[in-house]
Amino acid sequence: MNFSDQELIDGIARGDLRVVARLITLAENGVPRARAVQRAIFPRTGKAHVVGVTGAPGAGKSTLVDQLARTWRARGKKVAILAVDPTSPFSGGAILGDRIRMNHTSEDPSIYIRSMATRGSLGGLSKATLDAIQILDAAGFDLILVETVGVGQAEVDIVRTADTCLVVLVPGMGDSVQIIKAGILEIADLFVINKADREGADLLHRDLRILLSLAEAGTDRWEPLITRTIATTGEGAGEVVDGVQSHSEWIRNSARGKEKRLGILEHNIIQLLTEVTLERTLSSKRDLLKKLVADCYERKVDPYSAVEQLLAPSI
């Protein structure tokens, strides 16, 4: 379906899901007019609460996200889910797997689900995901849940992008050491001990509490919450939703919370700057780049000088 720019803008304002899907695709494909439309809809954004859900593969993120989405739906909220999978940009295997597992949610047409491939050149969450978040926000979704596999960069990136970061842990995997190593302690606003039906949940809960008590306390600081869930039955999902709600209020009502939102915007601008700078620098200089690569290969030029040449204004 072909929409004019104005039809896209109006469709987003109405929360029309076909238009939402179309605009996300246009943004994902880097179609220039998507940017114009995104500019026009930006004033509508800032109302949604973005929840990042991260954790090791198999921790139960998709199952949990499904339960959280249904809980929010039951409370009358409009929910969107973005499933980001950095490991399979082309095969679609993992994406299909997630679609199938989230089938409960898919049956509910009022929950919007979209799989995103991370095609970000710098790793982590791609600009396409940031665009999708913005579009969903403008379209009137109250909650945007972003599931990422917790591997390195994506994990850190989700914190820079999400208002609330949920870290999903599972008992009995030598977790406390994992937590310290991965720097998870610093990024989580809410810890979810999923698979609480398994042995070791008490131990993990205690370890987490001790680790958190060691972290420096500040008056204005958010104290990370610890909740337990059995995502397969939905047990504990209500508590997680309540916890996110508290965190959302903290973000909206504290100086630190405002700082966090400013940080998210700064991160988004820097991501965009990176992309636009690269695009502008290379667009007219593909031939020069090729030549410089060849020159570097011959060791006639070094990569630093090559960058300087690329950045020099063309005559």
Ligand X SMILES: Nc1nc2c(ncn2[C@@H]2O[C@H](COP(=O)(O)OP(=O)(O)O)[C@@H](O)[C@H]2O)c(=O)[nH]1
Question: Quick check: 264 and 161 in contact, CB under 8 A?
Answer: yes
Length of the chain: 315
Q: Which is nearer to ligand X, 135 or 149 (CB)?
A: 149
Q: At closest approach, how far in Å is the CB of 267 from Mg ion?
A: 24
Taking CB atoms, the residue at the shortest distance from ligand X is 60
Tell me which of Mg ion, ligand X, none is bound by residue 160, counting a contact when its beta carbon lies within the kind-specific cut-off of 5 to 8 angstroms.
none
Helix ranges (DSSP H) in 32-143: 32-41, 61-74, 93-101, 103-106, 127-138
Interface with Mg ion, residue 248, by CB under 5 A: no
Residues 6+ away with beta carbon under 8 Å from 173? 56
Q: At closest approach, how far in Å is the CB of 219 from Mg ion?
A: 37
Residues 6+ away with beta carbon under 8 Å from 220? 254, 255, 256
Q: At closest approach, how far in Å is the CB of 98 from Mg ion?
A: 5
**Could you tell me the sign of the dihedral formed by the alpha carbons of 44, 74, 146, 9, in that order?**
negative
Q: At closest approach, how far in Å is the CB of 295 from ligand X?
A: 46
Q: Which is nearer to ligand X, 131 or 175 (CB)?
A: 175
Cα 128 versus chain centre, distance: 10
In the range 80-139, which residues lie near Mg ion by CB under 5 A? 98
Q: Which is nearer to Mg ion, 49 or 61 (CB)?
A: 61
Q: Which is nearer to Mg ion, 38 or 194 (CB)?
A: 194
Residue type, 109: P
Phi, psi for residue 224 in degrees, rounded to 5: -55, 140
Q: At closest approach, how far in Å is the CB of 40 from ligand X?
A: 35
Q: Which is nearer to ligand X, 48 or 230 (CB)?
A: 230
Q: Which is nearer to ligand X, 194 or 227 (CB)?
A: 194
Q: Which is nearer to ligand X, 49 or 195 (CB)?
A: 195
Question: Quick check: 52 and 159 in contact, CB under 8 A?
Answer: yes
Tell me which of ligand X, Mg ion, none is bound by residue 125, counting a contact when its beta carbon lies within the kind-specific cut-off of 5 to 8 angstroms.
none
Cα 214 versus chain centre, distance: 28
Angle at which helix 127-138 crosses helix 153-161, to 10 degrees, equals: 30
Interface with Mg ion, residue 62, by CB under 5 A: yes
Interface with Mg ion, residue 194, by CB under 5 A: no
Distance (Å, whole) CA 153 – CA 142: 26
Q: At closest approach, how far in Å is the CB of 141 from ligand X?
A: 21
Q: Which is nearer to ligand X, 62 or 126 (CB)?
A: 62
Q: At closest approach, how far in Å is the CB of 248 from ligand X?
A: 23
Q: If you search the block for the tokens 């921790």, which residue do you land on?
A: 59
Tell me which of Mg ion, ligand X, none is bound by residue 142, counting a contact when its beta carbon lies within the kind-specific cut-off of 5 to 8 angstroms.
none
Q: At closest approach, how far in Å is the CB of 222 from ligand X?
A: 24
Distance (Å, whole) CA 124 – CA 127: 9
Q: Using the 8-state DSSP alphabet, how is residue 144 labeled?
A: E
Helix ranges (DSSP H) in the chain: 5-14, 17-28, 32-41, 61-74, 93-101, 103-106, 127-138, 153-161, 175-182, 184-187, 201-214, 237-253, 255-283, 286-297, 303-311
Q: For binding to ligand X (CB under 6 A), which residues are involved? A: 55, 57-63, 101, 194-195, 197, 230-232
Tell me which of Mg ion, ligand X, none is bound by residue 230, counting a contact when its beta carbon lies within the kind-specific cut-off of 5 to 8 angstroms.
ligand X
Contact residues for Mg ion, defined by CB under 5 A: 61-62, 98
